[in-house]
């Protein structure tokens, strides 16, 4: 559905996962994270999927965290923003299906503690 925060489709053994917040250039929120990781788990468990392609709707892939999302987070005193209600989700690391991107426009990222950092 075009109203979904993450769109998911499979064709020719390719799962296309599209971040769908073009009005915010697909900036990252916990809702986007949850829907994206759910789509990765879905694609990774589908025997009809040989590769996962991640893209963003509209004119940019993802400029990073949504500023409204960041304003709702707390500082841990070390100039690190923490959202104490979230736990790292290793979905991108948990699938054996190759993941690639069809990125355009702005793109930024962040590392979650505990995912790929040994703790």
- Say whether pLDDT at 119 is over 80: no
> Nearest 5 degrees, angle CA 83-CA 109-CA 44?
90
Residue 58 CA to residue 96 CA, distance in Å, equals 29
pLDDT value at residue 116: 39
Number of Cβ within 10 Å of residue 40's Cβ equals 24
DSSP state of 86: -
What own/partner pairs with CB < 8 Å and gap ≥ 24 does 35-41 have?
35/4, 35/5, 35/6, 36/6, 36/91, 37/89, 37/91, 37/92, 38/6, 38/91, 39/6, 39/8, 39/15, 40/91, 40/92, 40/94, 40/95, 40/99, 41/91, 41/94, 41/95
Q: Higher model confidence: residue 114 or residue 29? A: 29
CATH topology of domain 6-102: 2-enoyl-CoA Hydratase; Chain A, domain 1 (3.90.226)
103 vs 94: which has the higher pLDDT: 103
Of 111 and 2, the structure prediction assigns the larger pLDDT to 2
Question: Using one digit for the tens of pLDDT, what is the confidence trace for 38-97?
Answer: 999 999 999 999 999 999 999 888 887 787 666 555 544 444 445 545 555 666 777 889
């Amino acid at each position: 559905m075009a109203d979904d925060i993450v769109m998911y489709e499979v064709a020719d053994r390719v799962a296309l996962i599209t971040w769908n917040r073009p009005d915010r250039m697909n900036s990252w929120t916990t809702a986007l994270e949850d829907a994206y990781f759910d789509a990765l788990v879905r694609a990774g468990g589908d025997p009809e999927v040989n590769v996962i392609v991640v893209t963003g709707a509209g004119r940019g892939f993802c400029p990073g965290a949504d500023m409204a999302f960041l304003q709702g987070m707390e500082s841990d005193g070390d100039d690190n923003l923490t959202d104490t209600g979230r736990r790292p989700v290793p979905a991108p690391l948990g699938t054996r299906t190759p993941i690639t991107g069809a990125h355009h426009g702005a793109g930024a990222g962040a590392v979650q503690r505990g995912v790929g950092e040994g703790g």
